Amino acid sequence: MTTTTATRMLWRGLCIIVPLLFVSVNCQPLDKSAGDGNLKNKGIAENIVSAETNYKGKWELFSPNSGVSAMHLILLPKTNNSLMFDSTIFKTSRLKFPDPHCQNVVIPNGPVEEHCFAHSVLMDFETAKVKPLKFKYDTWCSSGALDVKGRLVSTGGSDKGSDTVRILDKCDDCQWKEYPGTLGNGRWYSTQVTLGDGRFMVFGGRDFPTYEFVPSEGHRNSKNQVIDFKFLRETRDRVENNLYPFVNLHTDGNLFIFANNRSVLLNPKTNLIVHEFPVLPNGARSYPASGCSCMLPITLHPDEKRPVIPAEILVCGGAAHDAFTLTDLNRPKVFPPVTKDCGLIDISEMQKANWKILQMPSPRILGDAMVLPTGDVLLVNGAKSGSAGWDDARDPNMVPVLYNVASYNFKELNPSTIPRMYHSTSAVLPDGKILIAGSNTNDGYLDVALFPTETRVEKFSPHYFDPALDPFRTEILYEKAKRLNYGKPFKVRVRGGDQNLDMKKLQVNIYNPPFTTHGISMNQRMIRLGIYEVKKDGAEKDVSVISLQAPLNGNIAPPGYYMLFVVYNGVPCRRAMWVNVNK
């Protein structure tokens, strides 16, 4: 029986069974293409059976005040902490350090300045408790990623922060450690990417069409450790449109780099461009045109033999090349409508690879493309006209859109009531909800403005929180944080889901918490693991044991912390388990 036949049969089965559970199912085969005969989702979404629902999601106000507006957002592993920070330029925020503490901040053209308001906080994403953290060097429009130990390594920023590397460990009372003068070039609006061996590179930034490796803690880069990058020189428009390039590690160890409307594969060992992909037409996608992008889940089979594992990139929204000219440089400002399409490309096809153009239900810039625990994508936050920049966008797009990777369909979910414009962020939580924070389109903390500085934090519960799907929600039986060794088999025990877990409805996905800012979620990566078998636990009748294989190597899953989600029939488990992937 072919895969397609099996999938169809399963769907037919589901179409009979699921309505009995009062769940509405979209009864179409999964290989249905979006009106384009060439659309065939190979390798990425094969064999996934999930009960679709008409549940449109739910918003909740999680915190009335995060203190600091979350221009940058990341989860720290193993704790329940989300880290939010913006910039020292505002001098203020909505959270004061407890008396008599203040922080010394290095300012442009001057020595230090005392700021008694915090610019960074840890927010417990379960209790909403907030803790202010101090730093000295400006983090404005910086980059970051988790290292193999689960510490945040933050790079760049503005002014004297631009060549700074900072480290925040994941313990509850850890403080920022700052290393100014570490980078060879200033990195303002740059992108940090993790390689298969766990090292970081930073790409671009204002005025620097270059890249460099991030030196290990305590070391510094000299100017000659900076590598000139013609591609970033070439993709710069008069108003840039190539900052915060979208950079993803391909499964073969090369880096996929997208800037403005062009993309290449770069070999980080030889510094050679291995391939250039076709141009993605219809405007610019990178800052300040600020579309959003993600790599789709990488699907593995047990004992993988394929020489290159397929990897697909989605790039959505953006703006016309001259949008920033019209909004930021023009008086009066003009706010042109933004881009409504997405480009999807399988980068493993190399010479044959080309963009498939998909239409979103609405145009979007300044949004986030978050990979959900199910492997589908949530497009959320942002606006429908203008560009990135202070007061440069209008028409908030408050409707989150679910992109189904198997069917190529987009679906609008329930809208929020809070505009999330420039400098807004999102994060996928271990319970499958999405943390939504930030939005500050003002040069300061403004209470009264067209779009006031936002410090309210919301949680969005996507479609799979449909109460009717509750019977499919499994519970991972925790062990102490698990270590996965490349290529090695391991087991996960789960309770619930069904009496007998059907392998065809089962996915086990690991997800690297990304560093999100300005519509880019750096190092966001989901790997759908190869499953050997599912067995009943002999002793407990509602417990199943899933046998899996850890990813084969670091190019598929760079070493470090991931959330492991068991997804059954399209419904994520109650809470992900942290795993550490390594040699």
HSE-CB for 412 with a 13 A CA cutoff? 12
Shortest Å, Cβ 278 to ligand NAG: 9
Spatial contact of 288 and 389, defined as CB atoms under 8 Å apart: yes
Shortest Å, Cβ 383 to ligand NAG: 22
Which token pair is 294?
């993600």
79 vs 325 by CB, closer to ligand NAG = 79
217 vs 470 by CB, closer to ligand NAG = 470
Alpha-helix runs per DSSP H in 191-256: 230-234
Shortest Å, Cβ 90 to ligand NAG: 30
Spatial contact of 451 and 95, defined as CB atoms under 8 Å apart: no
Shortest Å, Cβ 339 to ligand NAG: 11
Helix (H, G, I), strand (E, B) or coil at 183: coil
Instruction: Categorise residue 167: left if φ over 0, alpha if ψ from -120 to 50, beta otherwise.
Output: beta
Shortest Å, Cβ 172 to ligand NAG: 8
117 vs 258 by CB, closer to ligand NAG = 258
Sign of the Cα pseudo-torsion (298, 304, 306, 307, in order)? positive
200 vs 277 by CB, closer to ligand NAG = 277
Shortest Å, Cβ 478 to ligand NAG: 9
**What long-range pairs does 178-181 form, CB within 8 A, spacing at least 24?**
178/135, 178/136, 178/137, 179/217, 179/218, 179/220, 180/106, 180/137, 181/220
Which token pair is 97?
């350090």
289 vs 311 by CB, closer to ligand NAG = 289
Distance CA 48, CA 382 (A): 30
Distance CA 583, CA 576 (A): 22
Burial readout 292-330 (b: 16 or more C-beta within 10 A, e: otherwise):
bbbbbbbbbeeeeeeeebbbbbbbbbbbbbbbbbbbbee
Spatial contact of 23 and 51, defined as CB atoms under 8 Å apart: yes
Shortest Å, Cβ 245 to ligand NAG: 13
79 vs 414 by CB, closer to ligand NAG = 79
93 vs 241 by CB, closer to ligand NAG = 241
Shortest Å, Cβ 462 to ligand NAG: 19
The amino acid present at 35, given as its one-letter code, is G
Per CB under 6 A, residues contacting ligand NAG are: 79-80, 126, 237, 260-261, 279, 281, 321
90 vs 208 by CB, closer to ligand NAG = 208
